[in-house]
Amino acid sequence: MSDVFPFPADASRGRGDLVNVVAARKSLARELVDLVNASGLKLTGITIAELALNHLAARLDEHQRGAALVYMRGRYGQMVVAKDSVLYLSRRLDVSNDDLHDASQQENAVQSLALEMQRSLDYYESQLGQVPPSKIRFVTGNTSLPLSSMLGSYLASGVEALEWSDLGLENSVDNRCLAAWSAGLVAPEAKGGWPQAINLYTEELRPTREKLQAGSAVAILAATAVLLAVVAGFVRYENAQLTDQAMSGQQQVERLERSVAELAREAESRQPDPQVEAALARVNELLVRRQRLLTQVESLMSEDTAGFAAPLSALARQVPGGLWLTRIRLNAQNGDVGLSGRAQTGRLVPSYLEALGEEPAFQGRTFGAFRLERDEEGRWIEFRVATDESAGGTP
């Protein structure tokens, strides 16, 4: 099975009209078709993931200047670049999600992923004669890892996570279903030329209807009559069983109702013990006193910690990409501040401290203790700063 779709005319660089050829193994396609038909779904077409993702990339290309999309699957990634609803480039990125989340391999995996993405953009510019997109949209199933900021320092184009709200969605699409969901999108019409589309769902894969002969029809009717008789007998048997169970259940309900009535009469005959009531009153009074004490303690705690809001807000606003805080110490009594964290490069730390100095919550404060060192594996720069020199740079 095979089909073709056109290569962009403005990217052929004088080589004439070109087409992309898609080929698939018929036996594998037939297994998937049988699976879909057995699920009760109606199959209308078979396409490839690259053209399906092209529909999504075309939605992101609002100004027809080109859009790049990176879709991270389980064991590899897929990068597509589209312009004016036309697929210009598709590349497989041989980096797995496991490598990206493994601390021992993370740095090499991020660098390899960034290198493959940059090579794709260079090819798009030098070999296809196109202007690279200004930013790359990133789609991954795990949002806990800040891949966008980690990749941004290695690429010329900006990297940002795909905002599903830009597509009119309140929730994100399941990462495992992204290709199938994108295939259902209606891509904007390309300006002129032969539209890029394929359908590998050929006639030889479609189900065929066989004509029923008279003899076969009689045999089927006879078998159906026998089956109906068997089913009717089974239904009568089941009905009798259910009737017996219902009667047994009714008897149990009547016994339970009599037991409940007896227990109710016993409960009404019993009078409360005055000593128990007095003990219960004392316990309630003790709980009320403890609740008042707890309320006073909470009010004191809220008064003591109210002064932390402004410094914490300033710390949150000024954290740059590539720098993470791992520990914060704030002393409300004397105003001492201590910070510990990690950074990808050493120059980020002075820039961060200078930006904190411009915040109103930190104006007039001087970091007297400063320590900067690289971790044992050499992947991060660890820093410790404090306004209290006696702290020795250890928050």
Can you say whether the dihedral through the CA atoms of 181, 184, 185, 191 is positive or negative? positive
pLDDT of residue 79: 93
> Does domain 307-391 bear CATH number 3.40.50.970?
no
**How do 2-6 and 19-23 pair as beta strands?**
antiparallel
| Cβ-based burial of 22 (10 A; exposed 0-12, middle 13-18, buried ≥19) | middle
Cβ contact 133:157 at 8 Å = yes
pLDDT of residue 101: 84
Tokens of 315: 């710390």
Which of the 8 DSSP states describes residue 133? P
pLDDT of residue 213: 67
Q: What is the pTM of this model?
A: 0.50
Q: Comparing C-alpha atoms, which of 322, 316, 327, 339 is closest to residue 381?
A: 322
CA pair distance 150, 321, nearest whole angstrom: 8
* pLDDT tens series, the chain, 395 aa: 888 888 887 888 778 788 888 888 888 888 888 888 888 888 888 888 888 888 888 888 877 788 899 998 888 889 999 988 889 999 999 988 888 888 888 889 889 988 998 999 999 889 889 999 988 988 887 666 787 788 887 888 888 888 888 888 888 888 788 888 888 887 666 555 556 887 877 877 777 766 656 777 788 888 888 888 888 888 888 888 898 888 888 889 988 988 898 888 877 777 677 788 888 888 898 889 888 877 875 665 555 555 677 888 888 888 888 888 889 888 767 778 888 998 888 888 888 888 888 888 887 777 778 888 887 777 888 889 888 766 554 45
Q: Which fold has domain 2-205?
A: Nucleotidyltransferase; domain 5 (3.30.420)
- Spell out the domain ranges in the chain: 2-205, 307-391
Q: Comparing C-alpha atoms, which of 375, 378, 351, 356 is closest to residue 366?
A: 356
pLDDT of residue 200: 77
pLDDT of residue 81: 93
CA pair distance 348, 342, nearest whole angstrom: 10
Q: Comparing C-alpha atoms, which of 32, 129, 113, 31 is closest to residue 78?
A: 113
pLDDT of residue 389: 61
pLDDT of residue 96: 87
- 212 Cβ contact partners less than 8 Å away, ≥ 6 residues apart: 220
pLDDT of residue 120: 93
Residue indicated by tokens 């201590």: 338
- Write phi, then psi, for 197 (nearest 5 degrees): -160, 145
Cβ contact 338:386 at 8 Å = yes
| Cβ-based burial of 173 (10 A; exposed 0-12, middle 13-18, buried ≥19) | middle
